[in-house]
């Protein structure tokens, strides 16, 4: 069994690499540009194949799939944020967030699906709680993650029964993307979470693995948010 995980050198993606490899998968992970993180990941997981690829680059993604061959599981995890009020965002910022978060999900799915339709497979899209309820000053990020949820639900019908398609919607997770909070801001967020703390990448990876392997679940969006923000 082979899994492809985008955004695989840190945070949720790296936790997914660890878990899928531990569970017996051959794992291929993509990263965009951070060679330092990639080298660290390679040292930790020498049997995981890490490839550099911008998920929004159609030609590069075509090359990746030609190189690695068919996959059984696709985890669309690569994503970027843009924290700003809408009037302060540039159109290029908008396009970059949408191109990576939704465009990258589209391209990886487009190239994975032909083989999956004949051999079966599962796709897990890493959305966000903001894709469900929207986040202030993260309107474009929220829109991109909401689009991933709609994409998930549509594809679960389009690709059935051969391919299962699900999404997760993480809440506040201890990742680089959430490292910007001050201790006071973090405490305020934790006070709004019923479980009283930020989640870990490993806890999100467990949800991803469940959706990738549970054979009678498709078209679902699983919140991994400690009970809601």
Q: Are 11 and 75 in contact (CB under 8 A)?
A: no
Q: Are 172 and 193 in contact (CB under 8 A)?
A: yes
Q: Are 209 and 126 in contact (CB under 8 A)?
A: no
- Give the number of residues written for the chain: 229
Alpha-carbon distances, residue 67 vs 60, 70, 130 (angstroms): 10, 9, 34
Candidate list 31, 91, 94, 141, residue with the active-site label = 141
141 catalytically annotated: yes
In angstroms, the CA 109 to CA 142 distance is 20
Alpha-carbon distances, residue 177 vs 10, 82, 84, 119, 201 (angstroms): 11, 10, 14, 36, 12
In angstroms, the CA 40 to CA 10 distance is 9
In angstroms, the CA 166 to CA 151 distance is 10
Q: Strand pairing partners for 51?
A: 30
Alpha-carbon distances, residue 164 vs 75, 158, 184 (angstroms): 12, 10, 41
Active site residues: 141
């Amino acid at each position: 069994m082979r899994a492809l995980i985008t955004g695989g050198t840190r945070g949720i993606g790296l936790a997914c690499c660890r878990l899928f490899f531990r569970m017996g998968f051959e794992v291929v992970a993509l990263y965009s540009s951070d060679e330092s993180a990639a080298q660290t990941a390679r040292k930790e997981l020498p049997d995981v194949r890490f490839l550099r690829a911008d998920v929004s680059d159609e030609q590069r993604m075509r090359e990746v799939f030609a190189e690695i061959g068919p996959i059984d599981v696709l985890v669309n995890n690569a994503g970027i944020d843009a924290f700003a009020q809408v009037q302060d965002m540039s159109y290029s910022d908008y396009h970059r967030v949408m191109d990576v978060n939704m465009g990258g999900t589209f391209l990886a799915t487009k190239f994975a699906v032909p083989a999956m339709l004949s051999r079966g497979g599962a796709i897990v899209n890493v959305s966000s709680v903001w894709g469900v309820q929207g986040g202030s000053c993260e309107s474009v990020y929220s829109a991109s993650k909401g689009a991933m949820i709609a994409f998930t639900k549509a594809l679960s019908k389009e690709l059935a029964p051969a391919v299962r398609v699900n999404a997760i919607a993480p809440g506040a997770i201890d990742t680089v993307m959430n490292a910007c909070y001050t201790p006071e801001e973090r405490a305020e967020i934790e006070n709004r979470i019923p479980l009283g703390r930020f989640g870990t990448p490993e806890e999100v990876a467990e949800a991803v693995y469940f959706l990738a392997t549970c054979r009678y679940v498709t078209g679902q969006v699983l919140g991994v948010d400690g009970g809601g923000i």
